[in-house]
Chains A and B, each alone.
Chain A
Amino acid sequence: MSDNFFDFGADALLLAGLNGKNWRLEDYVARGGYRALKKILANPGHWTSDQVIAEIKLSMLRGRGGAGFPTGMKWSFMPKDAPVKYIVCNADEGEPGTFKDRDLLRYNPHLVLEGMIIAGYAMGCRRGYMYVHGEIWEVYERCEEAVAEARMANLLGNHILGSSFSFDIFNHHGFGAYVCGEETSLLESLEGKKGRPRYKPPFPANVGLYGKPTTINNVETLANVPFIVDKGGQWFLDLNGTMAGGTKIFSISGDVARPGNYEFPLGIPFSKLLLKAGGMRDGLGLKAVIPGGSSAPVLPAAVMLETNLDYDSIAKAGSMMGSGAVIIMNETRCMVRSLLRLAEFYHEESCGQCTPCREGTGWLVRVLHRIEHGEGRAEDIDLLDDIARNISGRTICALGDAAAMPIRSFLKHFRDEFVYHIEHRSCQVADYV
């Protein structure tokens, strides 16, 4: 595996102390790993499943997979009396710009496993599945090794550490489909079918994997769980001054000097992250930022430089935290061309079962293509907006909304460039996508 470097930031929690080699069970235990699980199993009278969920609620942990749903609340939706339930870890990281789950799993896999085991305990599951993104085979292999280590140490399996709790984890390797990151599509895929999202309701908490109650959580979400149990929900909430607890791993990419993962408490100014990533590459000016993965609305530099990186602040600025993937674009970049590339992605990845998404994404590509190549028409800008509006909210899964979101935000903030392309019948920027 190629490694860049291991400077994740002085405030790192999930990525603290990692050097690429110390991923094994013994290293994790030396860092205090599995302490939270042991604490629970040693005192099940205090640490009832309700108590674990209460602690997660207190921490105000919000999902790190994109939607930011409060994790404690999500766990409490699981029916108590169902005999068979599942916890699924979503490691199908494919949202353009996002690469944090890969580092968590290859450098600190046991942290995620411990989080999953505790989640399984809290929700009364006996089995968990880890769904690993197709392109990261090496990470899948690492997960297989980590699971084997945990089984050997009776941290997984029957009567974990001599307790009455039995739980096991199995790794499933995806094979290249962005839409499988969507939780119901992921379940279809786990069942051995093509990954086509399901209608909701019913929600997975009632009808999930093999028809059984299922909770799906992102890798980073689960990685926070052992810390919350070990150090307390209040401690976790107090890690930052915002309404949601904890740190966030920001994957920063694009036109920065040092792309990579940096972990900070939620709520740091965007400028601090940019500085940590070495600033702009080649000293060029900042033009635009997509702050939460390609599905989040783009923001102009001036807005971004005034924004803090937490759920509420980014929402107030007109975008979303999403997966925490921060894509940086410098002053030389063409916004039409960049948007065209994103539109192609959503069109390519649409599973095709809803007409607005299947047809709409193709139409967006064709219109953007002609604008970029000097054949745009005056009415095309309104047309793009119209198509996007007609996709939003009219599809089975959120991929449709994700395709529409960039369109409307690029038009809102960079309309001039679209107009320029149409009026001058050309693009002024050399090819880069």
Chain B
Amino acid sequence: MNKLSAESYQKIDAAIAKYPPEHKQSAVMAALTIAQDERGWLSPETLKEIADYLDISPLAVYEVATFYTMYHLKSVGRYTLTVCTNLPCALQGANRTAEHLKKILNIDWGETTQDGMFTLLSGECMGACGEGPVLLRNNKTMCGNMTPQAVDSLLAELCRSRKGDADVG
């Protein structure tokens, strides 16, 4: 398996530099994030590579990767859509949004569409309830006021961008 790119290693080095030199382990969360950004998900080989680089045991890395919910230990679609389903968002219509997404994509929570485009995930409060219902795209982009209509335009935009192969992230 190929190593992570030089660019990823540069970013990991920048993360390591944020902590005292004897505490490289502090950079493990950032390193996993950077690796997941490059690869889409975290394979056992990737976890091992990060463990070696940070001089910590693969088990320590595995523990972190399994504890935090935003790391993917299985491959996911090109776009992950994580819908917040906690109470404040639910009061603002998150359930309708979720049902709509499931129907259109024809998948349930945790599943990926057959074309590998979308993975649908259910999430807890993202600290953005004022704009609820919210969904988080690829762990990075917060989309607010996600009514069923807003979902339709988001999906249309993402499908269009695939044709042009532009990276909307």
- Chain A residues engaging chain B, CB cutoff 8 angstroms: 1-2, 4, 93-99, 101-103, 133-138, 170-178, 189-195, 210, 251-255, 259-261, 294, 325, 327-329, 333, 338, 341-342, 345, 348-349, 431-433
Contacts and interface: CB of A to CB of B under 8 A. Distances in A.
Given A177-B68, A348-B124, A431-B95, A253 B129 contact: yes
Nearest to B28: A192
B10 to A, nearest CB: 15
B163 to A, nearest CB: 25
A325 B91 CA distance: 14
Interface of B: 18-20, 23-30, 32-33, 54, 56, 60, 63-64, 66-71, 82, 85-88, 90-92, 94-95, 123-132, 136, 139-145
Given A194-B64, A432-B91, A345 B127 contact: no
Given A138-B140, A341-B90, 4 more contacts: A136-B127, A191-B26, A253-B92, A329-B91
Contact of A99 (B32, B129, B141, B143): B129
A96 B131 contact: no
A51 B60 CA distance: 44
Contacts of A325: 88, 129
A210 B125 contact: no
Contacts of B129: 96-99, 251, 253, 259, 325
A99 B142 contact: no
Given A191-B23, A433-B87, A175 B70 contact: yes
Contacts of A251: 129-130
Contacts of B33: 173, 175
A345 B125 CA distance: 9
Nearest to A93: B127
A2 B145 contact: yes
B88 A102 contact: no
19 contacts: A99-B127, A99-B130, A101-B127, A133-B127, A134-B68, A135-B127, A136-B142, A175-B29, A176-B71, A192-B23, A193-B25, A194-B68, A195-B67, A252-B130, A253-B132, A259-B130, A259-B132, A342-B87, A345-B86
